[in-house]
Structure 1
Amino acid sequence: LEKSEKRKKRLKLKMKKRRKRSQRRNLNRRKVRRKKQKLGLRLRLFHQKMK
């Protein structure tokens, strides 16, 4: 393999890993948002009951 081909392969791998990482981060963000929404809902319901 030539140097340039090796570099291309390495870059490809890097991109693959970066894409995977960003997908995982997005998934986590979505989970967190859903959790917060659920918490907010529960809080609102609780306050309505207190009234």
Structure 2
Amino acid sequence: MSEMVTILVESYEDPGPFGAKSIAEIRINGALPALTNAIYDAVGLD
């Protein structure tokens, strides 16, 4: 498995209704690295 690096970037976003913040992006972040690793393993470049 290739190395993954987490980079935290500060940003200001206005809160949504009742002060809520979005958390849906967390679910998206895991899909692309998993797909990339699957293709990497399938091609056999290891």
TM bucket (normalised to shorter chain) is 0.3 to 0.5
Greater helix content: 1
For normalisation by structure 2, the TM-score amounts to: 0.47
For normalisation by structure 1, the TM-score amounts to: 0.44
Higher-Rg member (1/2): 1
Tell me which of the two structures has the higher relative contact order, counting C-alpha pairs closer than 8 angstroms and 6 or more residues apart.
2
